[in-house]
Amino acid sequence: MKAIWDYCKEYPKFRNVTEIGRGIEYKTFKKSVKKEEFKGAVKGFGRFEKRINGKKDISITDVPDYSWLSLEPKDIQNPRSGTKIGLPQVLANRQRSGADIWRIKGLIDFSGCPSTDSFLVIRPNQQLSLSLYVIFALINSPYTSAYMFDNCLGRNNLEGILGEMPVPFKSQDLSKLETLAKKYFEFDRAAFSLKDEQELKQKKKKCLLEIDAEILRLYDLPPRLEKLLLDCFEGVQRKGVAFKFERYYPAGLDSYIPLSVFISEEFKTSTVENITKWVEENRTPAVIEALKKATEDFQGE
C-alpha cells in the first residue's frame, strides 16, 4: 500500500490540523482507576471497552464504560493529554482492535472526560476548529485503519504514527462529510420500533458507506489505488457496527470504480445497455476526472 501513502504525501499531516496525544499514564493503574467512586477521583474512561450482554465490541457511536480516575499528582507518572476536563474530543483505542485490518475506532466524547493511556486523545486544533464529526469520520474510515495497519507493527496504535498520516483537509469543503456523520449518529437517537430493525441497519450501512466514499473523494486517489485500498477489507467484518459489513465491492469485481460512483443511485440502476446513457447524463467534472484516471491507470498496467 506504499503507493497510496506516497500519492498523498504532499497533503497536510493529521498533527497539523488536530492535537493528538494519549491519556494519563499512572504509576499504578489498579490503585488509580476503579469502578467505584473514591476520594480525589473524577468520572472518566479507564479502558476502551463497553460490556453489553458479556460482549465488549463497543459501537462507534457510543462511549466506553465510565470509571473513576485519580487526578492526584502523586498517582500520575505522566499526565499527557488525559487530565483535561470539559474539552470535547474524539477518543481512539491505543491497543489495536484486533489482528485484522480494522485496527482503530474513534468515539466522540462530547463531555470531555479524563482518560487513561488506553486511549488516544484527539482534539480539534484551536486555529482550524475541525468538527468532531469530521474527525470521527476520518478515524473510522478505511483509509485510517489501513494506514495504521500498514505502519504500526506492534499491538499499539501510536499517536506519532497517526499524527504523520496525510489528511485531505486543506481548503476542502467538509460540510457534506460533517452532515453525513451527524446523520449516522441521529439513527441511534431516533426511536425505531423492533419491526424496523432491519431497515435501520440498512440505512446505517448506507450512511456509513457514504461517509467512507466522501472521505475517499476528498483524498482524490486514482481509482486503481482506491480499489486497492478497499480490497484489503474484503471478507473482514467491520468493528463497532451492529450489521454485516464485510466488503465494499462484490466479490470478483475487477473494475476500477470509485466508491462514490459505485454506491450512487444512478450507477445502481444502470445496466450494460444503458451505462453509456448514464455516463452521458452524469458527465460532471468529478465523473469525467474519475473516468479519465481509470483509463490512465488501465493503460499503465
pLDDT above 70: percentage of residues in the chain: 86
Instruction: Confirm whether 269 is domain-assigned.
Output: no
pLDDT of residue 125: 87
In a domain, 280, yes or no: no
* CATH assignment of the domain containing 17: 3.90.220.10
pLDDT at 4: 97
- Check residue 199 and give its pLDDT: 85
- The pLDDT score that the predictor gives to residue 187 is 86
The predicted structure's pLDDT at residue 277:
53
In the chain, the number of structural domains is 1
Q: What is the pLDDT of residues 174-206, one digit of tens each?
A: 999 999 999 999 987 665 554 578 888 899 999
- The answer to whether the beta carbons of residues 269 and 257 sit under 8 Å apart is no
The long-range contacts involving 233-237, CB below 8 angstroms and separated by at least 24 positions, are 233/101, 233/102, 233/142, 233/145, 233/146, 236/100, 236/101, 236/102, 237/102
The pLDDT of residue 64 is 96
pLDDT of 89: 97
- What is the structure's pLDDT at 166? 97
Please determine, for residue 53, whether its predicted confidence score (pLDDT) is greater than 90. Answer: no
Taking the model in full, what pTM does it have?
Answer: 0.87
pLDDT at 270: 64
Question: With bands split at pLDDT 50, 70 and 90, how would you rate the model's confidence at 54?
Answer: low
Tell me, yes or no, whether 270 lies in a domain: no
Average pLDDT over residues 36-53: 91
Flag whether 77 is in a domain. Answer: yes
Q: Is the pLDDT of residue 274 over 80?
A: no
- When pLDDT is averaged across residues 69-88 and rounded to a whole number, the result is 97
Whether residue 21 lies inside any domain: the answer is yes
Residue 179 lies in a domain: yes
C-alpha cell at 13: 499531516
What is the rounded CA–CA span in Å between residue 1 and residue 150?
A: 8
Q: What is the pLDDT of residue 273?
A: 46
What would the pLDDT profile of 21-38 be if each residue is shown by its tens digit?
999 999 999 999 999 999
Domain assignment of residue 76, given as a range: 2-263
Residue 160 pLDDT exceeds 90: yes
Query: Which pLDDT belongs to residue 212?
Result: 98
Rounded to 5 degrees, φ, ψ at 54 are 85, -5
158-163 contacts, C-beta under 8 A, 24 or more apart: 159/20, 159/21, 159/22, 159/120, 162/14, 162/20, 162/92, 162/104, 162/120, 162/122, 163/13, 163/14, 163/15, 163/20
* Cell output for 226: 482506491
